[in-house]
Amino acid sequence: MNLQNKINDRSAKIGVIGLGYVGLPLAIEFADNGFTVYGIDINQERIDQLNNGENYISDVSDEKLRQLVTANKINGTTDFSILKSIDAVLICVPTPLNKSKDPDVSYIVSVLEQLKKYIHSNMLISLESTTYPGTTRELILPELNQSNLKVGQDFYLCFSPERVDPGNKKYRIKNTPKVVGGITKTCTQIGKHLYESIIDTVVPISSPEAAETVKLLENTFRSINIGLVNEVAIMCEKLGVNVWEVIDAAATKPFGFMKFTPGPGLGGHCIPIDPHYLSWKMKTLNYQARFIELAGEINTNMPSHVVDLIITGLNRFQKPINGSKILILGIAYKKDINDVRESPALDVMKLLESANAKVEYFDSYVPKIVWNGGEKVGLTKLTAESLDKYDAVVLLTEHKNFDYKLIVNASKLIIDTRNAFTGVEDSKIVRLGYSQIK
């Protein structure tokens, strides 16, 4: 039976390599649509959790995961030899940057070493990990061609960028359009056919290079526009203008403007990282991606600017930052999730500690973090008594479950980086993008 028919009758076995924020929800979506799914990860603890029906991703339904594990529709393993019986392999491994902001594709290379052992005819391989344009054709294809199988005829290879937005209740895997670009037209067709079995809209495009660039454009667009409003926020502080008022007013224009808001910096595994893949690739072609690099510089410096705002606020009370007790509110990189990857809150905390401030945090979504080689535990509850202990309270992530009225009433000084206290006219609030305290 050919692969398309196996997809149609749900007899195709799906392998998802990498069971993090991208891989696990994708595996569950395929399993929930009738496929038998094998999740592959080198992390034994993660595999044990999966096989026990224990959820570790906030966007995944605990009950749904347990149901699928009990029904044997999804299984986890660290053994890559399972690939011998897999029909479609979806690669969702991390693609971080190293310290010099060069792409680290070592996880993809490790997967390739295993795939070469077990690739077989009638197999689809789809890379979902964000990477630089050319990775699928220049890195993956030559390795798989060593099998003597012909791409587009014996096996199928494509790139289909993940579009996961943690915490987004409206757009999930099913209703977020999926882009697919294959090495050949047949590769694209087979990839499209597979993803159409779980996703409402699949958008085929001409090549994996185009698909790889689509993902980078999406997040570069966001990075640059966030960098723009962050710089405008700093300019508004100097002008004595409220940046939040300016942005809201500009957003009333029904065309030609898209609303972005400033903040303490970029977080997550995409926006702070993905543009640098494109910038790196362009350097290999002797071209400088100036917008990307400038936006990266502005966004990277925002945690330092937040510390400057804290110092400004403390100065009002004639307090030095050295020895001051600072409470960070929210360390997840965005509201209402438990993800701290690349969170600017961590940078703010490090900068404050390097200035000898005494730093604690409260985030009900993140009760503890790995910190300085050990573990840092957050406050378990906010009370008027606990808030009164701090010289400054710094809001970095505007979780909905914060008691904002309590925070305003009980805090001595608030640094608001998210405009969460809008409408509160209080001289003890220092706002990013609006210089109230002189």
Please, which pLDDT band fits residue 268 given cuts at 50, 70 and 90?
A: confident
- Say whether both 274 and 368 belong to one domain: yes
Q: Is residue 303 a contact partner of residue 248, using CB atoms and an 8 Å limit? A: no
Please, which pLDDT band fits residue 425 given cuts at 50, 70 and 90?
A: confident
Identify whether 222 is part of a domain.
no
The string of pLDDT tens digits covering residues 272-282 is 888 888 999 99
What is the residue-averaged pLDDT of the chain? 94
**In which domain, by residue range, is 399 found?**
232-431
Please, which pLDDT band fits residue 1 given cuts at 50, 70 and 90?
A: low
- Say whether both 24 and 135 belong to one domain: yes
Question: How many angstroms separate the Cα of 13 from the Cα of each of 35, 56, 85?
Answer: 6, 24, 7
- Say whether both 195 and 284 belong to one domain: no
Identify whether 221 is part of a domain.
no
Identify whether 375 is part of a domain.
yes
From the list 92, 187, 236, 270, the catalytic residue is 270
| Torsion region of 167: left, alpha or beta (phi above 0 gives left; psi -120 to 50 gives alpha) | left
Please, which pLDDT band fits residue 97 given cuts at 50, 70 and 90?
A: confident
Instruction: Of 6-10, 144-148, 184-188, give the lowest mean pLDDT range.
Output: 144-148
- Say whether both 324 and 407 belong to one domain: yes
- Say whether both 260 and 127 belong to one domain: no
Residue among 95, 54, 98, 50 nearest 74 (CA):
50
| Tokens matching residue 190 | 């087979």
Amino acid identity at 149: L
Domain boundary residue among 188, 206, 224?
206
Identify whether 214 is part of a domain.
no
pLDDT for the residue numbered 157: 98
| Tokens matching residue 42 | 């080198």
Give the H or E element holding residue 376.
Answer: strand 374-377
How many domains, in total, are found in the chain? 2
Read off the CATH number of the domain in which 116 is found.
3.40.50.720
Q: Is 438's pLDDT higher than 90?
A: no
Please, which pLDDT band fits residue 9 given cuts at 50, 70 and 90?
A: very high
- Say whether both 299 and 175 belong to one domain: no
- Say whether both 236 and 315 belong to one domain: yes
Is 158 known to be catalytic? no
- Say whether both 8 and 137 belong to one domain: yes
The string of pLDDT tens digits covering residues 19-47 is 999 999 999 999 999 999 999 999 999 99
- Say whether both 196 and 269 belong to one domain: no
pLDDT for the residue numbered 436: 61
- Say whether both 310 and 388 belong to one domain: yes
Give the span between the Cα atoms of 36 and 140, in whole angstroms. Answer: 26
% residues pLDDT > 70 (the chain): 99
Residue 118 makes CB contacts below 8 A (sequence gap 6+) with: 80, 81, 83, 84, 86
- Say whether both 248 and 182 belong to one domain: no
Q: Is 240's pLDDT higher than 60?
A: yes
Question: How many angstroms separate the Cα of 196 from the Cα of each of 10, 191, 400?
Answer: 12, 9, 35
Give the H or E element holding residue 414.
Answer: strand 414-416
- Say whether both 373 and 240 belong to one domain: yes
Identify whether 225 is part of a domain.
no
pTM for the whole structure: 0.91
Identify whether 438 is part of a domain.
no
Identify whether 412 is part of a domain.
yes
The average pLDDT across 246-270 equals: 94
Give the span between the Cα atoms of 156 and 175, in whole angstroms. Answer: 25
DSSP per residue, 177-195: -EEEEESSHHHHHHHHHHH
Identify whether 421 is part of a domain.
yes
Question: How many angstroms separate the Cα of 223 from the Cα of each of 201, 216, 226, 330, 419?
Answer: 26, 10, 5, 21, 20
Q: Is residue 91 a contact partner of residue 19, using CB atoms and an 8 Å limit? A: no
Instruction: Of 58-62, 145-149, 255-259, give the lowest mean pLDDT range.
Output: 58-62
Q: Is 203's pLDDT higher than 60?
A: yes
